[in-house]
Structure 1
Amino acid sequence: MNMATPKTTMLEPLLRQKQTTCPYCGVGCGVDISCNVSGRITSLDKVTGTPEHPANYGRLCVKGTNLLETNDLSGRLLHPTMAGAKVDWDTATRAVADKITQTIAEHGPDAVAFYVSGQLLTEDYYVANKLMKGFIGSANIDTNSRLCMSSAVAGYKRAFGEDVVPCDYTDLECTSLLVLTGSNTAWAHPVLFQRIQRAKLCNPDMKVVVIDPRETETCTIADLHLPLKAGSDVALFNGLLQFAHNNGAIDEAAIGEFTQGLNDAITSANTIDAKDVASLCGLNEADLNTFYDWFINADTAVTFYSMGVNQSSAGVDKANAIINCHLALDFIGKPGCGPFSITGQPNAMGGREVGGLANMLAAHCDIENPEHRENVKAFWQSPAMPECGGLKAVDLFSAMDAGQIKFVWIMGTNPVVSMPYREQVESALKKCDMVVVSDIVQSNDTLAFADIALPATGWSEKDGTVTNSERRISRQRGIMPPPGEAKHDWQIMCDVANKMGFASGFSYSHPSEIFDEHARLTAYKNDGARLLNLAPLTGKSQAQYDAMAPVQWPLTINSDKTLSAVRPFHNKVFSTPTGKANFVAVQFSLPIQVTSSEFPFVLNSGRMRDQWHTMTRTGKAPVLHAHTDLANVYVHPEDAKALGVSTNDYVTLSSKVSGETACIFPVQIDKRQRQGDVFVPIHWSGEWGSHSKLAKLYAPATDPISGQPELKHGAVSITPLNFSSYGKLYISDDVQVANGELDIVKVLNEVVESNNGYWAKYLIDNGLGVSIASQLESQAVIKGLLEKLPKTWVCYQHKTADSQVLICTYQDSFCFMAFFGAHSPSTKPKYDVPNSWVDSALTQSFNPEKLANFLRCDIDEEFLNGPVVCSCFSVREKTISKAIVDGGSSVSALGDTLKCGTNCGSCKPALATLINEHAITVEDVARES
């Protein structure tokens, strides 16, 4: 019998599935990609969560769900450049190697610095650390993880003797008390938030306490919200330790079996009278006592903390104040218990494992420990090894500004945007003899200072491992080949190392070889001293490495040769010389950046739901701009009233270090803010707006132990700002491609910013939107734009007494629209058109009736439904509110009616908030009647 060969038609593309790991937060979600085998990812491809991955069990947030929307090659850096000109790889890496060698010869190794990133894979991180510390001979390698997790690292090391997160994600689901502090989990780690939601539904007795100056969407699951004063965490948790001691909740004999230093910690906590804690923290005393009572009487407790704890001039003390409470009540080393620091980046933990911080060595070894130094040096067979820690991030750029750092290599991060004191960072990069930047994009705020730009691979091409917040190692697999001439970071560094004469130490041909060396180093002369011991993962073939399933350390080998994880400190033995955990005596101190009559507002900053870091990836997806399209400053209603501003009015934010050009943001009035505090999101930068440079406002204040900057407590002034005209303009994608010479940012700078104006851009489905506020009259702005637009466009204008509209067509399609008026956007004038209405018009075929509607701003009713709440299905606030009025009294009911919340689930907290606000409104009306 003849067997016919199955045929594949053009309508049935050959698909393959690859499993990788999400490149965003530290949750470490598994991702399945179904893609066409023939080339780069296309619109036919799909991304879903990996059902069996223990971090997410198939769930993805809105950012992960839209990964493929960010993966095109627009804006990618595809070739090495020197002074902006394309060069070949050999020329570029030879220049880097020669400059490092020259710098060492003339100024010593400490004149060289690397600044790396939690976006690197563990293999990249390992090679960078080995090259810098073991062969160049300096510890001046630091990372943007310094900005997010270094205080947590130092806190764990002081308490446990090793940087070990003692919790698993399952602890969030089986605890009786969950304390979320300094973490807007609903937005920063949505997949974990959904796990917590489900756990609370399954166990109604589970209590959740949210400690945050703001009433964030995380509070939708809270039994108690404590809106403490920013920076007062040490007082809060010292008060808890004191409360536990005074109420006889601490079994000192039992605790003494595995800890030391309890009495000193209690004595230090008692320096603040318990009655004063509520005052210092700005909390209701009854609520404070409720929290304390719940904690000391809980069967199990997890304190889940993030940037709100770490990004502080007292971040390490905050971490140890939390850890002290867990040690005192024996909430550690067992299910449902522990102080759980959650990382902000996909591989911040992997970087910590390989010594990516300036004050660490690989494999959790200490750079100040002579035995550790000699062991690592011997293992690497390296020619040099620094005897002390290097410069931490803020100090590194300060030294560069002072002329001490002559060469810096920046990999996968954007310090001009993310570091505090932007003025100094820019000054430092201008003064540095050579700035090398490895990145995936052609331009960002930092690349503007690069002498050499090196094209690195991105998420869909990188191949290696990452470690998530629960110590789980996962494979990040390359889905497609590197585009253009891009190379993996480890390959670039090995090329430079070889040209410097270090070929014997950097002869890797595959990341599996690097991982094996890293794993062997963790086991080298370990003798059980450190929990990070990956000996069971050594000796893997390339095929075994490629197929490696997610695995969590510490590891043990079972009798059947399988591997399983061991709970850290389950035996109450810690990585200290005595084997006991350390209580650390800490005392409350004020933040360094304190308010004053000149700068009376506390500045807080953090993440938005749908964006990530400096938007290198998420900024490419229009759907991720729908929830929040530009940076705003969030202000309490009473503060707004005192300032005389309304929603969408513009204000200037200034600080002691902001320089002549301060930040400008539109106002969003938010009753969930603490009065006297303001909030600004971190993501938007100079790439996205004329005055969206948040880092200008923060002084270089740091924790004295960790060096982590104080990015949760700035001190600023706010000044209302009036302009002569306001407006929006839109340009279609098709026209931007067809008219490649039109640089819209250059046009905005020349027409708007040069005249002391403001602009901020964002993506819409069919193009680009820009909000503008100008010191020029509307007519002058329109005139300036017309002078810059291509002469091939057909332009139409409509003028009224208070507005100007400009509509342009190209090849019989609408391609450009500008709406301007003299009234502030807070008055909701006619020209303040919805983005969605214009978006639907761009690329439509021209006809006179449509043109007339656009010129008159005759907006269809369907586009007046308010901001997007559900990004996945573009469901807007007014649509949801109507559904609630019509009986949609639960999140699931709204999902049944509108589909919102039924895909990634990131909007579920917002839906719960709307339901709650509607219930309160109805209750108020009933009470009044």
Structure 2
Amino acid sequence: MRQTTASTCCYCGVGCGVLIEHDGAHIFDVAGDPNHPANFGKLCSKGSTLHLTGDLDARALYPELRLGKGLARARTGWDSALDHAAKVFADTIAEHGPDSVAFYISGQLLTEDYYAFNKLARALVGTNNIDSNSRLCMSSAVVGYKRSLGADAPPCSYEDIELSDCLLIVGSNMAYAHPVLFRRLEEAKAKRPEMKVIVVDPRRTDTCDLADLHLPILPGTDVVLFHGILHILLWEGWIDRDFVEAHTDGFDELKRTVRDYNPAMVAELCGIGIEQLQRCARMIGTAQGFLSLWCMGVNQSTAGSAKNSALINLHLATGHIGKPGAGPFSLTGQPNAMGGRETGSLSNLLPGHREAGNAAHRGEVAAYWGVPALPDTPGLSAIELFEAVRGGKVKALWIACTNPAQSMPDQHSIHETLATCPFVVVQEAFATTETCRYADLLLPAASWGEKEGTVTNSERRVSHVRRAIPAPGEARADWSITCDFARRLEKLIRPGQPSLFAFEDAAALFDEYKLLTQGRDLDLSGLSHALIDRLGPQQWPFPADREQGTPRLYVDGKFPTETGRARFLAEHYQAPKEQREARFPLTLNTGRLRDHWHGMSRTGTAARLFGHVEEALLSMNADDMRRRRLLDGQLVRVRSRRGELLLPVQKDDSLAPGQAFMPMHWGNRFLKGLGVNRLTLPSVDPLSKQPELKHAGIDVEKVELPWQFFALVEGAVQKRFESLRPLFEGFAYASFSLTGRDRPALVIRAACNEAPDATQLAQIEQCLGLDEGPVVAYDDPRRAVGKRVRIEEGRIVALSLSGETAARDWLKQLWHDGTADQALRRWLLAPLSTPPGGAVRTGKTLCNCMNVSQEAVCAGIERGLDLNGLKRELGCGTSCGSCVPEIKRLLTKQPAVA
């Protein structure tokens, strides 16, 4: 019998409520929860396809153990797996000390999972070597809030988006990265056109289409811009002096600093016009409510902490904090990065927004946990942690729910590090991630829809994540795995003592953890799983004497600092680590796509999510391409100081000369060569230790690889992927993706200097199912060209082109249409390369929710449909709305016929 379970989305930090339709064993569908205050029923293209990401062929289902480097892992039982892990960790600690082991965890864990890991590392093992992948996305925002306001606490609510008078978006393509919130902004702007929206971004993204003002500053010059705005606010008298005098410290020093950031100097350094800068300052200075939203473009920088503080300075100077429609509001990248920060899951933190370097804080947590003391040696942040593994200081590494072999910068070094670490445990739901390759012990974890706990979203709202179905195979909840291991380790390193990990369920973990927040700025002591079920998701602080959460912080002008006053930070602009120069004349920016998320361990299992952008592409300005004689689709070599990567290039009008862009999602699984982070640098912000993932110097040159390969095969996609991927290691270029909706298929593109040997091609054809059966084949040995098409019941089910691939789009369209006509058969048996007929229709899916192609939209525009007409007739733009900016651009280029 079908039933519905209310839960929470597992992608970004918006924290959308979802309704899972299932029968207790299988998930059939997902919809937005109309009663959840984060999204009121709306979902983006990723959230609305969650039910399509449950391919068991991609999942880790059973514990697997490798008994020696170079050997294959073999299936084992949970008892033997965890006993082995406990012995290795105990022996390592006994011989080399507690800091010889480390834990690298994830913003995708639930709060209860986080708490279990923190207690394991600090109370039992005795190390602060526990860090999270939130170090890569949010740690500069953490430092910014703490230094300026006294606590890591975003003071705003999502409703402030509707209430704001002037909204500044910095370093975020919000339309792609946080689309549900962007829809709220679009609706608010439509109701109140007088609302001003400013977007600061080197690229002209879909987010900019809503802006009254777009400031395309040069990458990395954010501090200059913010100081320049404050310079004008001071000059024009747009400062709330009463608020500054009553509630802040350090303003005089900041005034001396920004005195030098005059409009002419700022405009030149930022690469914008003086009038644009002045207009921006006027919008902010005359607003009744000024709200700022920012994300990775601010945080992922060697000056990320300074950027955060300089932005918060604008709010303190104008008094736009602690009131409706105003405040500095960081957008969280992961579903529970906030929960990780709350539980102390960065190496410098402790639960309850405490500091690992603070003796009093350590004493409070140690007393609560009933242990003599917590370690006082500083823990290693993410970059430092992997450097310590590489240097042999860390000998046992536990990785949970994250994929550093795709997400960390300088991937060549990371892969070498993981390969040489004596013992690597990977606790993961998806066995297909790049990191799983290096696991000496692979522990299968429960995933979305299969686990219970809580998450905290960007507006400090705690939601209950409910289980709909059991985890497949022998997969277990993360907290359960962690506590089971901890109990076994206890017997080896503190025998005879009561267990610190006697938890029966996730609710028990939350109930113990929440009391560590009592009396702190984030007080969660009044919350419980049962209360959230009764009242709905709640914002902290929520003390035990409260009946509802706190929508807005600092309404009384009091801040959790030693003086009770907020602090202005006066820091000068520091340029990014790598500047453009003769050998590396372009600046590479990285970022998100609309329909994919992080390293694609989950979205990479849903074929329809490749419909909008199917493969990794390098985007460049048209002038930069022209100077290098590059054409759309040509293969290029992208080279940085750390390595190189081969991929196709495309013209992108959103980029200024000297800049390039590549999505963050492609790693070595989908793109041979270790993916985009083969190019990025491990330099970090000195305070937050967050790496500069969005700014690297590169060079680009055309690559001639005359022998090309293309294949498409449907059925058992993940299994075929796993068998085919290793066969392309010898190719110079290889890219993998999925396509289709009702009939998912694997797509392969590859190229090299000369044809591979016949044996290798035969292996590939065998894996594709093109070696026997109803296969039409043509070979031209002289030209090293081959064609293979498998036709079953009148339609194509697999195909390959070797040597040259001019007909690939035509064949892919025939597959998509489900046809195999006589023209195809004639072409197959003739020495023709180019397909018959005219131009091939585009296969791009513009609206993923409603399966509407770009071709259909263009055809509708030709028939005279406007945006509303397209929505009525095709359905595009009526669900998540992420396609609307792109449709508007098509309407501008191709106006509807009257």
CA contact (8 A) 2:58 2:431 kept: yes
* Residue 383 (structure 1) shift: 4.1
Which one of 768, 777, 800 corresponds to residue 746 of structure 2? 768
Q: Deviations over 1:502-535 (max 9, x none)?
A: 6521000011111111111101xx3xxx321112
Q: Structure 1 pair 553/821, CA: closer, same or farther in 2 (3 Å)?
A: same
State the SS of the aligned residue for 2:894. helix
Q: CA deviation at 1:779?
A: 11
Taking the TM superposition and a 5 Å limit, the aligned residue runs for 1:665-684 are: 665-684=647-666
For the aligned residues, what is the CA RMSD?
Answer: 2.5
Structure 2 distance, partners of 1:148, 1:139, is 20
Question: Any idea what SS the aligned residue of 1:62 has?
Answer: coil
Task: Within 5 Å, give how 1:139-154 maps onto structure 2.
Answer: 139-154=128-143
CA displacement 1:482-513 (0-9 Å, x = unmatched): 21111111111111111122652100001111
Partner of 2:886: 910
Any conservation in 2 of the 1:690–1:758 contact (CA below 8 Å)? yes
Q: Which residue of the other structure, out of 642, 647, 652, is the alignment partner of 2:627?
A: 642
1:161 lines up with 2:150 in the alignment? yes
Match of 1:40 in 2: 26
Number of the residue aligned with 1:92: 81
Q: 1:102 to 1:799 in 2, by over 3 A?
A: closer
Corresponding residue number in structure 1 for 2:290: 301
Query: Equivalent residue of 2:426, what SS?
Result: strand
Alignment partner of 2:801: what SS? strand
Counterpart-to-counterpart distance in 2, 1:357 and 1:645:
44
User: CA 1:424 to 1:908, structure 2 compared with 1: closer, same or farther past 3 Å?
Assistant: same
Aligned to 2:871: 895
* CA shift for structure 1 position 589: 0.9
Partner of 2:617: 632
In structure 2, the residue matched to 1:485 is 474
Within 2, Cα distance between the matches of 1:478 and 1:854? 51
Distance 2:285 2:721 in 1: 59
Question: Where does 1:482-881 land on structure 2 (aligned, <5 Å)?
Answer: 482-501=471-490, 504-523=499-518, 526=519, 530-537=520-527, 540=528, 549-555=536-542, 562-658=547-643, 662-691=644-673, 693-733=675-715, 747=724, 749-750=726-727, 752-765=728-741, 766=743, 767-777=745-755, 785-786=764-765, 791-798=771-778, 804-809=786-791, 814-820=796-802, 822=804, 829-833=806-810, 835-841=812-818, 851-852=825-826, 864-881=841-858
Q: Are the counterparts in 1 of residues 796 and 814 from structure 2 also a CA contact under 8 Å? A: no
SS at match of 2:623: helix
- Name the stretch that deviates more: 595-604 or 799-808: 799-808
CA contact (8 A) 2:732 2:751 kept: no
Deviations 1:73-131 (A, max 9, x none): 22211110101101111111111111221111111111110000001000000110111
Per-residue deviation at 1:773?
2.1
- Over 3 Å counting, the alpha-carbon distance change for 1:254 and 1:343 in structure 2 is closer
Task: Name the residue aligned to 1:283.
Answer: 272
In structure 2, list runs of 5 or more residues that go unmatched: 67-72
Paired residue for 1:59, among 42, 52, 55?
42
Distance apart, 1:803 and its partner CA = 6.2
- The AA in structure 2 aligned to 1:510 is D
Counterparts of 2:394 and 2:245, CA distance in 1:
47
Aligned equivalents of 2:53, 2:372: Cα separation in 1: 43
Tell me if the contact between 1:111 and 1:407 (Cα under 8 Å) persists in the aligned partners: yes
Return closer, same or farther for 1:252/1:897 CA change in 2, 3 Å cut-off.
same
Paired with 1:911 and 1:74, the residues of 2 have a C-alpha distance of 36
Q: When the two structures are superposed, what TM-score results if normalisation uses the length of structure 1?
A: 0.90
Q: How much does 1:600 deviate?
A: 1.0
| 1:793–1:810 CA contact under 8 A, matched in 2 | no
Maintained 8 Å contact 1:821/1:831 = no
Q: Per the alignment, do residues 166 and 836 of structure 1 end up closer, same or farther by CA in structure 2, a change over 3 Å counting?
A: farther
Counterpart of 1:885 in structure 2 is: 862
| CA shift in 2, pair 1:871/1:223, >3 Å | same
Residue identity in the other structure for 2:656: R
Select between 48-57 and 784-793 the one with higher mean Cα deviation. 784-793
Structure-2 separation of matches of 1:778 and 1:436: 37
Give aligned-pair identity as a percent.
Answer: 38
What are the superposed Cα offsets for residues 879-922 of structure 1, whole Å, 9 maximum, x if unpaired?
Answer: 212322332233x2210121111122221121122223335x99
Point out the more displaced range, 204-213 or 758-767: 758-767
> Which AA in structure 1 matches 2:121?
M
Distance in 2 of aligned mates of 1:858 and 1:657: 41
1:222 to 211, 229, 234: 211
Paired position in structure 2 for 1:103 = 92
Return closer, same or farther for 1:877/1:861 CA change in 2, 3 Å cut-off: farther
> Which residue number corresponds to residue 4 of structure 1?
none
Q: 1:840 to 1:753 in 2, by over 3 A?
A: farther
1:539-560 superposed Cα distances (whole Å, 9 cap, x missing partner): x5x75566562011123678xx
CA distance in 2, matches of 1:389, 1:271: 38
Q: Deviations over 1:340-393 (max 9, x none)?
A: 100000000000100001110100011122111100110111244122431110
What is the CA distance between 1:860 and its match in structure 2? 8.9
- Deviation of residue 137 (structure 1)? 1.1
Match of 2:70 in 1: none
Contact 2:865 2:897 in 1 (8 A): no
Kindly provide the amino acid, as one letter, of the partner of residue 31 in structure 2.
T
- Per-residue CA deviations over 1:679-712 (Å, capped at 9, x if unaligned) read 0001111111223511110121110000001011
SS of the equivalent of 1:610 reads: coil
Cα deviations by residue, 1:808-834 (Å, 9 ceiling, x for unpaired): 3579874320134547xxxxx444436
User: Take 2:891 and 2:821, find their aligned partners in 1: how far apart are those partners?
Assistant: 42
User: 3-state SS of the aligned residue for 1:313?
Assistant: coil
Q: Is the 8 A contact 2:734 2:748 kept in 1?
A: no
Pair 1:62–1:612, CA change in 2 (3 A): same
- Pair 131,556 (structure 1): closer, same or farther in 2 beyond 3 Å: closer
Matched residue SS, 2:869: helix
Distance 2:682 2:538 in 1: 38
Structure 2 Cα separation of the partners of residues 489 and 698 of structure 1: 31
Distance 1:94 1:191, change over 3 A: same
Structure 2 Cα separation of the partners of residues 896 and 477 of structure 1:
36
What CA distance in whole angstroms lies between the structure 2 residues aligned with 1:442 and 1:366?
35
**Change beyond 3 A, Cα 1:564–1:837:** same
The offset of 1:730, in angstroms, is 0.8
Which has the higher mean CA deviation after the structures are superposed, 161-170 or 879-888? 879-888
Instruction: Measure the CA separation in 1 of the matches of 2:796 and 2:194.
Output: 58
Q: For 1:160 and 1:585, locate their aligned partners in 2 and report how far apart those are by CA, in whole Å.
A: 14
2:584–2:697 contact (8 Å) kept in structure 1: yes
- Give the C-alpha shift of residue 749 in structure 1: 4.5
CA distance in 2, matches of 1:72, 1:789: 19
Q: Deviation at 1:254?
A: 3.4
TM-score, scaled relative to structure 2: 0.93
SS at 2:730 equivalent: helix
- C-alpha distance in 2, partners of 1:545/1:745? 42
- Farther-moved stretch of structure 1 (848-857 vs 753-762): 848-857
- Cα distance in 1 for partners of 2:19, 2:838 equals 40
Does 1:366 find its partner at 2:361? no
| Bigger shift: residues 542-551 or 133-142 | 542-551
1:393 — aligned with what? 382
What residue number does 1:382 align with? 371
Structure 1: how far apart are the matches of 2:821 and 2:216?
Answer: 55
Amino acid paired to 1:549: G
Are 1:444 and 2:444 counterparts? no
Task: Count residues with an aligned counterpart.
Answer: 877
Secondary structure of 1:209's counterpart equals strand
- The residue that corresponds to 1:351 in the other structure is 340
The farther-off stretch of 118-127 and 813-822 is 813-822
Q: Return the alpha-carbon distance in structure 2 between the equivalents of residues 432 and 356 of structure 1.
A: 23
